[in-house]
Amino acid sequence: MLALAAGAQAGQATGKVDSAARHGDVPVIQAVRCSEPIRIDGRLDDGAWQRALPATAFRQIDPKEGEPASERTEMRVVYDDEALYVGFRLFDGEPKRIMRRLSRRDDDSDADFVKLFLDPRLDHQTGAIFLVTAAGVQADAVLFNDSWDDSSWDAVWESAVSVDEEGWSAELKIPFSQLRFSSGAAQTWGINAARFIQRKNETDWLELVPKKESGIASRMAHVTALDGLRPRRALSVLPYAVARSEHVTAAPGDPFNDGSRQFGGFGADLKYGITTNLTLDATINPDFGQVEVDPAVVNLSQFETFFEERRPFFIEGSQIFSNFGRNGANNFWGFNRSEPNLFYSRRIGRNPQGEAEADFVDRSSATTILGAGKVSGKTASGWSLGLLEAVTGKEFARTASLARRDRVLVEPTTNYMVGRAHRDFGGGRAGLGLLGTSVLRSEGTPALHEELVQRAHVFGVDGYRFLDAKKDWVVTGRLAFSRLAGSVSAIRRVQESAQHNFQRPDSDEPRLDGQDSMDGWTGSINLNRNSGNLQMNAALWATSPGFESNDLGFNFQSDRWGGHVVGTWRKTNPDRLTRRRSLSVGKSYTLNYDGDRQHDGMFAFANGQLRNYWNFGLNAFQFFTVQRDNLTRGGPSAENPRSHSEGFWFETDNRKRVTANVEVFHERSRDGASFLGNWLNVKLKPSSGLSLQFGPSFRKPRATAQWVGGFEDATAAATYGSRYVFANLRQTEVVMTTRINWILSPRLSLQVYAQPLISSGDYTVFKEFLTPRRFEFARYGVDRGTIAYDADAREYRVDPDGSGPAPAFTFGSPDFNFKSLRLNAVFRWEWRLGSTLYVVWTQNRTSDVNPGTFEFRRDVSDLFGANPDDVFLVKFSYRLGR
């Protein structure tokens, strides 16, 4: 990949103006070179601004598409050897009503703002976005796939704003070291700008993109007369120091925890421009203590919970890896689409996977990342390149039993690698790319060798092709192969996992093969209509039984194939009731490789915006009777009864001081199972710098076949030598997600996140699965056998056939009452451009008393009476470089 990048760099040429031929006539703005310094103070009074001709032809996209902007906007562009300067004069007939609400960087500020779009490569596919609000808050993002953006990118740039009796002004200084472009005597860049007037809910664009069409990078104006520009290679080092104090609940006699522990550490992040278009990001001993904690969840399924990546090093620039198979099209519908993620960065630094058993165990909740590096960028010849390498160290768990202490290896040294290359052809009319991942683990102990795969590789190819000159219709596709290698037992563990269930006794062909490797593939093809009143998305996809990407990806389910078609009608012009509205209708299927339908559904979505700027949506689903090959978790397939669901949501005008979002969803199955969910989100904005958000939610699932356990029994011939036990489940769950944002200035803020959760489950009517491929059960103690409960031991004893030959078995009561409080408070001060001080407090409380019953007041009292685990952290960083 690096050799390819070097060759591409050698062949770079200055971008030429070819939009007139391919994209029609566009506005042209002439930039002015300045020789005197420009003060970034929010006032356009420097001489260079007076010499620059303004662009003023802004038009509305909302509320009156295509009409001239209601307020005059002027944009000027100047530059020197170091930076691009963009000045905006934003006239306003009511300057006292300019909304100047504060927010943290990159957050939705609900304020007047101006947004700048740049395409320095003039490739009509990628670019950068810079936003400044009337309160001086910055936001930035990278632009990719023509119309998608990723706000995880944080450039280092300057801006200032000022308000006067005629409106407000904004000055932006964007160093060339933060942009990617080619050298050239005379250059033309893509440029566009958008202004939002909050009180009018009006958005004005310099180069308008109609609502019925798509594209941003391909629909820009041009800025010319950029003469003699030389790209600047970014170079910055961000060393940091961190101090951490933990005060956690200690178990009596725990030799590893007396209730208080202190830690210290240091590390550094590096950003370096290898070439003018390729950047190296590296980190040594990274610390992510300032990152918001994951929410608590109660997961009763056999599948892993997916959590979003929040760590800055991994999310910045991640779009180059995450867009595999998603270039060209602007939407991809799902609906039980078992299409694995090939790269899931949270696998790097994951929880140690090895076992350590003793009376007392002290183990880390994450593996240590010794170092990581990332090369990314896009060359002028069209190659998007990304290469990420990370190494995690050995992790040991300390154990103690009686007088014996030991150290047990629970995670070996591991190397993670992902590489990506993609090229656009014909001005973005087609593209082809590659992606590969590799995980290599050291041998470790014999126990770990038997548990963990030693080598895991995935390789894929993707591409897209527009079928018409207007870029309305596009075909996208992807194909990937995986290979695992390790011990026979490690491979068997993967084959018997919930994603594969190779041990299913009723499969058409046995798949457990006793090999030390496993291979598989996954692929899809999509047809999209991206523009117009009538849009469409159709897909065919498949994931073979042996495909596996969970070592460095996220594989939801293998052994699936299927397809769907969705048609969307939308009307963007206002009528007497609404400002816009749309309706989507679709059909979807999913099958396994035995040919059994696992999903068969129809659905409809309607949404719109009322004249008062309230948004609403309605949805309905109909699911038909199919088979479910994972209900018995590795046992025979069972029938999945038909069901239906319906829901609605609405949200009030988000510009108001008090806003609300309400969602109600209900599902009911023919067997009597049901689900009721209600979500409410209220946001209060009492001042320009303070916002409070409360999100209570209530979930009430009712299951008639909730998994309890599987028990081997040779007399259970009808179910292949095992008994599969289920129960009715009455679950009640209440969550209150709370956020407080107190913004003292664009660089000084306090954020508080709190999530109390109470979830109880009452299991009743224990029963045995009777007949493969049917939804039939026999209740213990009623239809067959006996069941008894030992309250002291909290254990059930079942004799499945009374006086018959079947052996009795026992299992613990599955009733639960899980209560959790997760709190995270982060004080952030960007005391110098790019240099930050964090002070963080994290608290965690849990309680599991009173299983099987739900009493709100009692459970709240139990939760806040539980002993807290507190973590305090101070992190200081200092940016060096340009």
Would you list the DSSP string of 840-882? Answer: EEEEEEEE--STT---HHHHHHHHHHSPPEEEEEEEEE--EE-
Identify whether the C-beta of residue 451 lies closer than 8 Å to the C-beta of residue 457: no
pLDDT of residue 15: 33
Q: Which of 859, 851, 863 is nearest to 730 (CA)?
A: 851
Identify whether the C-beta of residue 436 lies closer than 8 Å to the C-beta of residue 460: yes
Asked whether residue 24 carries a pLDDT value surpassing 70, the answer given is no
268 bridge partner residues = 239, 284
User: Is the model more confident about 378 or about 194?
Assistant: 194
Secondary structure of residue 733 in the 3-state scheme = strand
Q: What is the pLDDT of residues 812-869, one digit of tens each?
A: 999 999 999 999 999 999 998 889 999 999 999 999 999 999 999 999 999 999 999 9
Q: Are strands 221-229 and 28-30 parallel, antiparallel or unpaired?
A: parallel
Q: Report the pLDDT averaged over residues 17-21.
A: 32
Distance CA 241, CA 226 (A): 42
Q: Report the pLDDT averaged over residues 637-655.
A: 96
Q: 411: part of which helix (H) or strand (E)?
A: strand 404-411
* This prediction's pTM: 0.88
pLDDT of residue 882: 67
Q: Which of 368, 373, 331, 370 is nearest to 352 (CA)?
A: 368
Secondary structure of residue 179 in the 3-state scheme = coil
Round to the nearest angstrom and report the end-to-end CA distance of the chain.
27
Asked whether residue 3 carries a pLDDT value surpassing 60, the answer given is no
Q: Report the pLDDT averaged over residues 535-546.
A: 95
pLDDT of residue 780: 97
pLDDT of residue 810: 97
Backbone φ and ψ of 40, nearest 5°? -90, 90
User: Is the model more confident about 231 or about 581?
Assistant: 581
* Burial track 304-319 (b if 16+ CB lie within 10 A, e otherwise): eeeeebebebbbbbbb
DSSP secondary-structure letter at 424? E
pLDDT of residue 235: 83
Q: Find the farthest-apart pair of alpha carbons in the chain and give their distance in angstroms, rounded.
A: 100
* In the chain, % of residues over pLDDT 90: 72
Q: Report the pLDDT averaged over residues 572-597.
A: 94
Q: Which of 433, 539, 460 is nearest to 145 (CA)?
A: 433
Question: Who's near 161: CB < 8 A, 6+ residues apart?
Answer: 42, 132, 133, 134, 135, 136, 168, 169, 170, 171
pLDDT of residue 197: 96
C-alpha distances (whole Å) from 397 to each of 259, 354, 400, 413, 441 are 18, 9, 10, 14, 18
pLDDT band at 21 (very low <50, low <70, confident <90, very high): very low
Distance CA 506, CA 309 (A): 38
Q: Report the pLDDT averaged over residues 384-404.
A: 92
pLDDT band at 491 (very low <50, low <70, confident <90, very high): very high
Question: Who's near 824: CB < 8 A, 6+ residues apart?
Answer: 292, 293, 752, 753, 754, 840, 841, 842
pLDDT of residue 426: 79
Asked whether residue 13 carries a pLDDT value surpassing 60, the answer given is no
Q: What is the pLDDT of residues 327-382, one digit of tens each?
A: 888 888 877 788 899 999 999 999 999 998 888 999 888 999 999 999 988 776 77
What is the pLDDT of the chain when averaged over all its residues?
91
pLDDT of residue 276: 72
Give the number of other CB atoms < 10 A from CB of residue 718: 12
Distance CA 265, CA 242 (A): 5
pLDDT of residue 380: 65
Question: Who's near 402: CB < 8 A, 6+ residues apart?
Answer: 359
DSSP 461-521: EEEEEE-STTS-EEEEEEEEEEEEES-HHHHHHHHTSTTT-TT-TTSSS------SEEEEE
Give the number of other CB atoms < 10 A from CB of residue 138: 19
Residue the block writes with tokens 């996209």: 61
Identify whether the C-beta of residue 338 lies closer than 8 Å to the C-beta of residue 590: yes
Question: Who's near 7: CB < 8 A, 6+ residues apart?
Answer: none
Distance CA 355, CA 447 (A): 9
Kindly state the tokens that stand for 309: 């990546």
Distance CA 489, CA 197 (A): 63
Q: What is the pLDDT of residues 431-488, one digit of tens each?
A: 999 999 999 999 888 999 999 999 999 999 999 999 988 888 999 999 999 999 999 9
Q: What is the pLDDT of residues 511-527, one digit of tens each?
A: 888 899 999 999 999 99
pLDDT of residue 467: 93
pLDDT of residue 617: 97
Q: Report the pLDDT averaged over residues 265-280.
A: 86
877 bridge partner residues = 240
Distance CA 36, CA 394 (A): 56
Question: Who's near 573: CB < 8 A, 6+ residues apart?
Answer: 65, 580
Kindly state the tokens that stand for 433: 């790319």
* Burial track 480-496 (b if 16+ CB lie within 10 A, e otherwise): bbbbbbbbeebbbebbb
Q: What is the pLDDT of residues 734-764, one digit of tens each?
A: 999 999 999 999 899 999 999 999 999 999 9
Distance CA 506, CA 524 (A): 28
3-state SS of 332-347? CCCCCCCCCECCCHHH
pLDDT of residue 310: 86
Identify whether the C-beta of residue 871 lies closer than 8 Å to the C-beta of residue 244: yes
Question: Who's near 199: CB < 8 A, 6+ residues apart?
Answer: 94, 97, 99, 655
Identify whether the C-beta of residue 367 lies closer than 8 Å to the C-beta of residue 393: yes
Q: What is the pLDDT of residues 99-130, one digit of tens each?
A: 999 988 888 878 999 999 999 988 888 889 99
Identify whether the C-beta of residue 136 lies closer than 8 Å to the C-beta of residue 149: no
Asked whether residue 9 carries a pLDDT value surpassing 60, the answer given is no
**Most confident option among 267-276, 462-471, 707-716:** 707-716
Asked whether residue 722 carries a pLDDT value surpassing 90, the answer given is yes
Distance CA 94, CA 97 (A): 6
- Domains annotated for the chain, with CATH where assigned, are 2-232 (2.60.40.1190)
Kindly state the tokens that stand for 501: 């269930």
Helices (H), 66-212: none
